[in-house]
Each structure stands twice: as structure tokens, then as C-alpha cells.
């Protein structure tokens, strides 16, 4: 039976990848013409300002019959509220981005990572299992739960080798352990209850709307402001970078054509040592705002390493390429330039984050609906 993919609950839609997913789904490219219900509890990382244009075009202002975008300010751990949303919007698809996502924060305070990433995922899976039950106790097969995960569940690589879908899990940080746990729960719900689940493990995303605690936006902002550029350890850790739109294109493809019970790796085939990536970023940023490259390079500061810092991630994404015909569209040069330009020309978005003003956005724009 074909998947409905009509009323889609996007969890974490106010975060970096989730908001880009919603923009992608409402673009002509996706071909999607259903509804999106964004469920997000607006933690420090959630920013509805990133979706202002979507809200204007498809949200509250539309006539009821034309409306295609809804926002629910709800914690994924709240069973009652999630059950209500599933019923209210007749949800047939869940794509689950919501998470605590920053490794450094997980080292400082792991508890919320366990709550949201483990308990929250469990809650969503269990609510979906109940809501999607047929009268005979079996589960509908026109529905889908797509779980978003990370390459960090596989651990750390030495100089050679790649993570494949069969690489054993070996998470090292509280963040990656909580994600690994959520992956196992998602797969357990497929095997035990036959819940239609697909799963994807992706490498480092970059692009617009990323919270400026992550490497690339943090460095772009620090360059702009003449601040030091903190590089952890020797700067030789390697990450595999993927433009966020290419990731979301892959996610939508899996949701449409991926086999239930299967997991897919998504990567950029684009490995960079942190320090080399920073040099490249400095070149592009300096060109954009006419700064002296050598002066800016002097602000690089090698700082104490992240505890348990994974050395290298590299994804083998041949499965999704071969089975679903996905390939990345945006070259790294293009993507990096687009990203730098975006942060430099969206000062208001950034300044609102720096000043904390962004958290008032919901008050200012949704206050009348309370």
C-alpha cells in the first residue's frame, strides 16, 4: 500500500535542519501538497523567526481551506499533547528531527539529552503505535515514522575506513549515546510492533538558520566581529560536511521510497580537517567583507580539546545512492559561499539570537492566540 504522506508532523521544525526541511517541503521542488504540523517546544535552539515566510504564506493568515502550515508549541515528551495533535490533524506521517543536538552541551549537562532524545523519541513512537492501530490491533501500513539520526552513533574512525549502515554502534558522548538509544528504540518498534519506521544517519550539516554554537556559524560570526576563533585540540579532527538542503532532499526521498525497517546513511563525501576548513572559511568570509586574511588567521586560537572528541567521521552513502538514486546537488564551494553570504546578510536573525530577542518572537507573533 502506498504511503499517504499527507498530514506530516515535523518535530523540531523550529531548529536548524527542521526549518530547512519545512522550507524545502513548501518549495516547488518537493512536489508536496499536503499539510505540515510543526511540533516544537522552542528550547534555546528553536527559532520561529526562521519560518516567518512560511507562516505568512501557508499559516495562520490563510483561509482555513487553504492553510497548510500549523505550529504547536509542545514538548515531545508530553504524551497527552502528542496524542491530541495526532488526532486533531489526522497525522499519517511523522518526521522526527527534535533533539538536543549539541555535543558540548551534552558534556556539560546530559540529562535533557536523555529526556528529549530517549524519552521523547520513545513517547512519539508509542503514541504513533497507539494512534495508527487498526481495529484488529495491527498497524496501518499507509503511515510512516521517519527517525532522523547522526553518524556519531558509529563512534570514531582512524585515518581510513567509512561508516556503513552495518557498522556497529559505538557512541562516545552523552549526545551520541542518546541518539543511538533512540535509533534502537525506533528499530525495536519496527521489529516488535511492525510500526512502519525508516531511519537515516547523517553527517555534519551546514547552511542557513544554524544556531551559532556550531562550528561554521560560530566562526563566521567571530570573524565578522573580530573575535578569537577557538579550535579544539590540534584542529585535525575530521568531519564530513553536507549542505542541509541535500540532506533534506534525501530525507524526503526516503520518506517517499525508502523501505520500512531500513536505515540509510547520508553524507557529503566531503571530508575536511577542522583547521583546513577554517582556513577556507576565512578566505571566503574575508573576501565578502574585505578583511585581511592574514590578520584574521592570527585570531585562530588552539584551545583545550573537547573531552572524548571523536577524531574522524566519514560516511559511505552508496546505499541511498544506489537504491534511491539520491546524490548531493550542491558542491562544497557553492554551499560554503552561500552559507557565508547568508549569515552576513541576515544580521537581524543573528543579532536577535545574540540579544535573546528571538525568544520573544513567539510572544510578538503568537501572543494573541494564547
The answer to whether residues 198 and 144 touch, using CB atoms and an 8 Å cutoff, is yes
Options 239, 247, 249, 328; binder of ligand DAU; rule CB under 6 A: 239
CA atoms of 334 and 85, how far apart (whole Å): 39
The verdict on 366 binding ligand DAU (CB under 6 A) reads no
For the CB of residue 221, give the shortest distance to ligand DAU in the complex, in Å: 11
The verdict on 47 binding ligand DAU (CB under 6 A) reads no
Q: In which element (H, E) is residue 205 found?
A: strand 204-206
Is 175 one of the catalytic residues?
yes
The verdict on 45 binding ligand NAD (CB under 6 A) reads yes
> Alpha helices, DSSP H only, in 45-157?
52-58, 79-88, 103-108, 111-113, 121-131
Residues 138-157, interacting with ligand DAU (CB under 6 A): 150-152
Residue 106: count of CB within 10 angstroms of its CB:
22
The verdict on 122 binding ligand NAD (CB under 6 A) reads no
What residue 94 binds from ligand DAU, ligand NAD, none (CB within 5 to 8 A, per partner kind)?
A: none
CA atoms of 10 and 312, how far apart (whole Å): 30
Site of grid cell 575530521: 238
Of the residues 55, 72, 92, 151, only one is catalytic, namely 151
CA atoms of 27 and 49, how far apart (whole Å): 18
CA atoms of 120 and 156, how far apart (whole Å): 26
Instruction: CB nearer to ligand NAD: give 174 or 286.
Output: 174
Of the residues 69, 70, 131, 175, only one is catalytic, namely 175
Three-point CA angle 112, 116, 120, nearest 5°: 150
Instruction: CB nearer to ligand NAD: give 122 or 193.
Output: 122
Q: Which residues, in sequence order, are bridge partners of residue 35?
A: 7
The verdict on 183 binding ligand DAU (CB under 6 A) reads no
Task: Catalog residues that contact ligand NAD under the rule CB under 6 A.
Answer: 11-12, 14-18, 40-43, 45-46, 75-77, 97-101, 116, 120, 148, 150, 179, 202, 204-205, 211
* Residues assigned a catalytic role: 151-152, 175
Task: Catalog residues that contact ligand DAU under the rule CB under 6 A.
Answer: 101-103, 150-152, 203-204, 214-215, 218, 230-232, 237, 239, 274, 306, 313
Amino acid at each position: 500500500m502506498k504511503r499517504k504522506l499527507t498530514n506530516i508532523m515535523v518535530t523540531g521544525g523550529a531548529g536548524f535542519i527542521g526549518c530547512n526541511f519545512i522550507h524545502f517541503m513548501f518549495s516547488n521542488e518537493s512536489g508536496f501538497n499536503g499539510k505540515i504540523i510543526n511540533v516544537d517546544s522552542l528550547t534555546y535552539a528553536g527559532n520561529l523567526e526562521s519560518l516567518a515566510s512560511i507562516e505568512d504564506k501557508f499559516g495562520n493568515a490563510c483561509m482555513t481551506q487553504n492553510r497548510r502550515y500549523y505550529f504547536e508549541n509542545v514538548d515531545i515528551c508530553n504524551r497527552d499533547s502528542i496524542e491530541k495533535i495526532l488526532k486533531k490533524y489526522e497525522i499519517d506521517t511523522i518526521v522526527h528531527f527534535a533533539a538536543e543536538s549539541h555535543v558540548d552541551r551534552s558534556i556539560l549537562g546530559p540529562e535533557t539529552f536523555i529526556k528529549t532524545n530517549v524519552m521523547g523519541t520513545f513517547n512519539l513512537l508509542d503514541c504513533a503505535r497507539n494512534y495508527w492501530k487498526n481495529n484488529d490491533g495491527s498497524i496501518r501500513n499507509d503511515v510512516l515514522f521517519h527517525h532522523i539520526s547522526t553518524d556519531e552513533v558509529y563512534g570514531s574512525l582512524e585515518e581510513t575506513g567509512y561508516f556503513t549502515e552495518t557498522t556497529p554502534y559505538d557512541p562516545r558522548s552523552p549526545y551520541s549515546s542518546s541518539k543511538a538509544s533512540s535509533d534502537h528504540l525506533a528499530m525495536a518498534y519496527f521489529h516488535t510492533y511492525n510500526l512502519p519506521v525508516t531511519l537515516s544517519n547523517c553527517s555534519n550539516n551546514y547552511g542557513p538558520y544554524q544556531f551559532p554554537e556550531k562550528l561554521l556559524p560560530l566562526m563566521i560570526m567571530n570573524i565578522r566581529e573580530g573575535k578569537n576563533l577557538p579550535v579544539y585540540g590540534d584542529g585535525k579532527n575530521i568531519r564530513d560536511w553536507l549542505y542541509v538542503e541535500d540532506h533534506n532532499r534525501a530525507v524526503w526521498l526516503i520518506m517517499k521510497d525508502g523501505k520500512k525497517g531500513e536505515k540509510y546513511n547520508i553524507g557529503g563525501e566531503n571530508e575536511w580537517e577542522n583547521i583546513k576548513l577554517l582556513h577556507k572559511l576565512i578566505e571566503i568570509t574575508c573576501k565578502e567583507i574585505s578583511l585581511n586574511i592574514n590578520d584574521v588567521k592570527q585570531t585562530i586560537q588552539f584551545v583545550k580539546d573537547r573531552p572524548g572528541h571523536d577524531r574522524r567521521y566519514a560516511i559511505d552513502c552508496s546505499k541511498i545512492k544506489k537504491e534511491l538514486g539520491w546524490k548531493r546537488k550542491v558542491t562544497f564551494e557553492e554551499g560554503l559561499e552561500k552559507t557565508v553570504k547568508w549569515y552576513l546578510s541576515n544580521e537581524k536573525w543573528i543579532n536577535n539570537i545574540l540579544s535573546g530577542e528571538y525568544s520573544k518572537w513567539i510572544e510578538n507573533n503568537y501572543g494573541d492566540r494564547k
